[in-house]
Structure 1
Amino acid sequence: GPEEVILGWELAHSRGLHIGDRISIRGRDLTVVGIRERWPFDALSPVNYRADVTLETYRRLSGDVDALDWVALLVPPTGNPQEREAYLTRVREQLQGIRIEDVPLALGRVASAFPGGDTLRGDDPVARAQGLYQRLLVICAAGGLFACGVAVANALWPSCREQRTEIGLVRLLGALPGEVLAGYLWSGLAMGVVGSLLGCYMAWQLVSALNAIFRGSQVLPALWLTPRLAAAVVAVTLVACVLGAAAPGLQAAGVNVAWLTKGLAPSRGEPVPAGSLRESRS
């Protein structure tokens, strides 16, 4: 219309304008009926423009009054049915002449078109999505526990074998097995702290890069690294690293120091058999 305008995204974002706001251009007050944004092409989406326009503007631009026979509404999440009904009432007032279908009616229409299919009702979609993400989290956590534990154990096993003499001397000086084990557990905890922080930083960089590459894609949604997810990753990593350090720590704590008193050293880090000690005494 003569008193309407479609703005670019940069101008609308810089002025804080949204659909329905008014802007003064060269002394004329114009109503913002559309916001247009250019997107780069990517491998997953064939479109490179996004335009947010009012329904009336879209019908005028397309030249077809019946261009849209249905509109999907995103109802703000609320647990109060009265608030939801108040929102739908305002929608009915703004979209006159259009029938609004709630979720059960829409699912029934889909079910009638596909007799052999199965539709989800009520809170089933939310429950299924939550169950899927919970199972995925359990699988990833189990894999992360195993990978981190094996990595830390492999890193500490060589030092445990090479430092058996030093460990035995520390034990002779009065160190308890628990103190030796605690040293290995602290080493595993330090590895977990460094590894988890480095992993979160690399994940944040990767998420930012993927969001920049696939910005505007209709297939791949924007990825988010939430503080809750980062805290869960750090916790799983720390637990896995401490458990991985427990195996070499237990072996180091159980070092037999009897061979040190006789000046005998085990071959390749293995404990001296009891028969050898008896033969040396004879």
Structure 2
Amino acid sequence: MTKVPLPDPARLRGTDLVNVGLDGLRGRPMRAALSAIGIAIGVAAMVGLVGVSTVSKAGLMAQIKQLGTDMLTVSAGATLTGQTAVLPETAEGMVTRIPGVAKVSAVGAVTNATVRRTDHIEPTNTNGIAVQAARTDLLESLSGSMQSGVFLNAATSKYPAVVLGSVAAKRLGIDQAGSHVYIAGRYLLVVGITNGLPLAPEIERSALLGWSYATELGFDGHATSLYERSTEGSVQSVRNVIRETVNPEHPEEVQVSRPSDALTAEAAANNAFNALFFGLGAVALLAGGVGVANIMVISVLERRQEIGLRRSLGATRGQIRMQFLTESVTLSALGGTAGVLLGLVGCMVFAAVKGWPLALPAQAIIGGAVASVLIGAVAGVYPARRAARLTPSEALATI
């Protein structure tokens, strides 16, 4: 008896394979949507969290660029016996002689004075606000601006006038110039309130008096901090000699810092959190992948008749396998796309609220999209193989 050769199975084109895979999703839209949400949440978490970190870093770097990296802060350290050191009265003038120095300003602590809203408030309730004498060019040296009123000038620095830092004003409940505060047994007129000073946060928490007037309240005339601006190319050379210039006899009692370094370190610290954010997103993606795998296994069980019918009509095991694998990958890809879009929307909203430049996290976008496809492929392998192993008789036996 002569065997009649069976015809070769028909080949499915790529578009046909996609259509067959999408049929399973279109037939169960609610289940597909719920499964895709798991993937979307994972990708959105990854893109959104890393995006917020990226936007924050971009904002800090823009802030550093605007404020400049050319400022050094000089302050009194401690003596060998552990006591607080004192900067010489000549320190400010000596620093101006260093080549490359553009401007120098200073503040000095008025140690025996506190600031309160009224004299009815306990003297011990200082709200963490320091009283300091300030030079009239301090705001210019810090590249600061005024929120309300004016800064100290040649006239007001000789009279009972005070300028509040932004934080100090908020703690005292003052939002504009013209109010009075109680300092060292007398009321002083608030002539101005500064905006935030990222390079000198200690000034934000201070009440600033004129240098001349502060001596009437017991100020000893010694600066406690100097704020020096250099040309961009001479910052390091100035830093190398400024201790010896300020206090030639005891340079070890002088502390020198570069405020922009703290902001740069803060921006760099954001990178350390990216790994954590990726991990959180990966956990959510894994949970979403398990959900997809679960849905695909249930889909195989529910569609045994469809599988049996297609196998009877000539579909090969490979075609059945690719059908379910395509369905799983498509489901995850749709969830990944939705997650990327949600994450980007979150980044844009955060950047708009903060007023920072929008920096898109390219690594998170690409990583989220690729991860969602890979999750879909891995999640669909077992259900696809299980569907492909069904013979037509087994699949149709439940009809």
TM-score in terms of structure 2 length: 0.36
Q: Which has the higher contact order (CA 8 A, sep 6+)?
A: 2
Structure ID, larger Rg:
2
